[in-house]
Amino acid sequence: MPQWAFLKLAINNFMQTGDAILIKLRLRFSKTGPLRFIGHLDLLKVFQQTIRRAGLPMAYSQGFNPHMLLSFALPLPLGMTGCNDYADITLENRMPPADIVSRFNANAPTGLHLKDVWEFEGPGAAALVSAADYLLKLPTDAKRDDIIVTVQALLNRETIVIPKKTKSGIKDTDIRSDIFDITVGDTDILLRLAAGSGRFLNPLIVAKLILGHDVPPSLMIRQELYSDLQKKPIGALAYESEG
């Protein structure tokens, strides 16, 4: 057999998955405390290390450089706390969700906590995300009545044009349609903004428009991610698929 034909046969055999049944799981987790100061790529490494230590039967991609089938819904800005973030993994064998949660948390570093796990079908979490909720803590010197007036004025505007960094450079961009809602509470402000691969509005930009100055990510919490299906929380889809 010619060398090229042998190599082709080897590659084909290597890429076959056989009769293995792969289990797709969605994870809901939080990223808090000191862990919020690591970037997205470092978080990926932390997840991989935790999964290995937990002994989960992970599935890997095919090819000469196989990697864990692991992906995240939406990267979290450096320094920001995430209360309900999502990741997708694939296992080679089915495991009870409670066992996955306990084994993962027993091996996770401080600040990373797995809350829930469920099987899913269809698109990955990254393809579903269309909006996010952010909680902005009101500064101690802020006047709530003035904040309410500012927020109402923003929501009443038909356009909000700002210079925004894009792939082609800095461009004037209308972000009004990416602001879905802003609610002023007693001690914080809740922002619901466009998020995801299609449209994304940096919450720090809106926070600056409201407060009039730059806001560090550490003063904001990303509370929830929503799907494109009637703006439902990504986590809510788990219970609908079970019904």
pLDDT of residue 229: 54
pLDDT of residue 3: 47
Residue 136: is its pLDDT beyond 90? Answer: yes
Average pLDDT over the chain reads: 88
Using alpha carbons, list the distances in angstroms from residue 131 to 12, 15, 215, 236.
41, 36, 20, 14
What tens digit of pLDDT does each residue of 142-170 get? 899 999 999 999 999 999 999 987 778 88
Intrachain domains 3-119 and 129-227 with the same fold: yes
d(CA 43, CA 92): 23
pLDDT of residue 237: 59
Contacts of 57 (CB under 8 A, 6+ apart): 91, 92, 93, 95
Residue 10: is its pLDDT beyond 80? Answer: no
pLDDT of residue 228: 73
For residue 132, which phi and psi values (nearest 5 degrees)?
Answer: -145, 150
Provide the CATH topology of domain 129-227: Alpha-Beta Plaits (3.30.70)
Which residue in 180, 198, 200, 199 sits closest to 190, CA to CA? 180
d(CA 156, CA 217): 26
Residue 241: is its pLDDT beyond 90? Answer: no
pLDDT of residue 103: 98
pLDDT of residue 12: 40
d(CA 109, CA 228): 32
Q: Which CATH class is domain 3-119?
A: alpha beta
pLDDT of residue 8: 40
What tens digit of pLDDT does each residue of 179-231 get? 999 999 999 999 999 998 888 999 999 999 999 999 999 999 999 999 975 56
Q: Where are the domains of the chain?
A: 3-119, 129-227
Look at the alpha carbons of 92, 97, 98, 102 in this order and tell me if their dihedral is positive or negative.
positive
Residue 5: is its pLDDT beyond 80? Answer: no
pLDDT of residue 63: 82
Over pLDDT 90: what percentage of the chain? 75
Contacts of 105 (CB under 8 A, 6+ apart): 113, 114
Residue with the bigger pLDDT between 71 and 243: it is 71
Which residue in 128, 34, 35 sits closest to 87, CA to CA? 128
